[in-house]
Amino acid sequence: MKKQFGVFLLRCLLNSFGLWVAVRVFGTGYTDQDLQAGFWVFILSGVIFSVVNALLKPLVIVLSLPAILLTLGLFTIIVNGLMVYIALKLTPGITMAFWHSVLAGMVLSLINYIVSTTIEMRKTRRDSKETV
């Protein structure tokens, strides 16, 4: 249980960083006048995105399965963008256009892929050391 919470916390922090990068590159509605307030806004947005991704994304994937199958999986890019768009709509102080959210979803997907791969590699390495 502690490890799962630690992984979720790590994902939240990395999602916060990814959203910060995405808003800086693609965003249109955020001005960072107070650095400390900006930090907490992005931490909140990372937590909201992680929760939306964990709870809402599986339902949206199931409902959009015909479109995903028809486009051979490319529609998942739109689903990821929708998750970013929803998370940023729920976060006070940050706005982003839908198509910029799709691009931000690509950035966050890459970050999540790297984190998942790193965690899996560490787990595999640890398991192989225990068996030796």
* 42: in domain: yes
Rounded to 10°, the helix 75-90/35-55 angle is 130
**Residues 96, 25: contact at Cβ < 8 Å?**
no
Domain span including residue 114:
26-131
* 2: in domain: no
**Confidence at residue 34, expressed as pLDDT on a 0 to 100 scale:** 45
Residue 87 in this model has a pLDDT that exceeds 80: yes
* 21: in domain: no
Closest CA to 30 of 105, 107, 88: 88
Q: How many domains does the chain have?
A: 1
Helix, coil or strand: residue 64: coil
Helix, coil or strand: residue 29: coil
**Confidence at residue 108, expressed as pLDDT on a 0 to 100 scale:** 87
The whole-model pTM stands at: 0.81
Tell me the C-alpha distance between 125 and 74, whole Å: 32
The model's pLDDT over 36-55, given as tens digits with 9 standing for 90+, comes to 557 888 899 899 998 998 89
